[in-house]
Amino acid sequence: MAKRNPSRRRKKRAPQKKSLPGWMIFLGAGLIILGVAAMIALPQEAPEEYSSVPVPVEYPAPELTLENLQGETESLADYRGQVVLVNLWATWCPPCKAELPVLQSYYEDHVVEGFSIIGINFGESHDEVDAFIKTTDLTYPIWIDIESASGLAFNSFSLPSSFVIDRTGTVRLAWTGAISQKMLEKHLTPIIAE
């Protein structure tokens, strides 16, 4: 049997490092510069431009009775004859918290026209909600819904969600997501004016 000559062993080649061609590096850098320039040069849209758009609906307002922050029982039926925006929200929900000042401002502007907002906190304790509300300037009614009855009543478990009930007790608009002042003025103000 022939012995192999150790000097004839093949030497393993070190793997060659692959590098990107120069034109690819240049193209990538150019695209990054172009993207940054576009972000700087293009006008920035206000956050309200990202508001959700309501869906027109038409069904009777649900029977819903909950406790308010003061511990009193209230019902949607108590608000018959007013236009009501029911807003489902939670303290842990960033879009919910972002829209609260918008809702408060709209409420202040239209409360004298027979309009109200009912903010229904979804699934949190009275103490949690009360502590949070004390850090805000909210003056519209806040109800507590620990058992998610409002989600069942309105068939919605997305937060924030809002529903507009007209003076006759018919749900007319449904929003899923944060609402802007512009969207409120465009879609809700005409219902208040009816």
Q: Each residue's pLDDT tens digit in the chain (194 positions)? A: 555 555 555 656 655 666 666 656 666 565 566 555 555 554 444 444 456 788 999 999 999 999 999 999 999 999 999 999 999 999 999 999 999 999 999 999 999 999 999 999 999 999 999 999 999 999 999 999 999 999 999 999 899 999 999 999 999 999 999 999 999 999 999 999 99
Neighbours of 73 (CB within 10 A): 10
Instruction: Name the pTM for this structure.
Output: 0.74
Quote the tokens at residue 184. 């409120």
Place of tokens 């007790």: 169
Closest CA to 188 of 71, 177, 43, 167: 167
Give the integer Cα–Cα distance in Å for 194 and 192. 6
Neighbours of 116 (CB within 10 A): 16
Q: What domains lie within the chain, and their CATH numbers?
A: 51-193 (3.40.30.10)
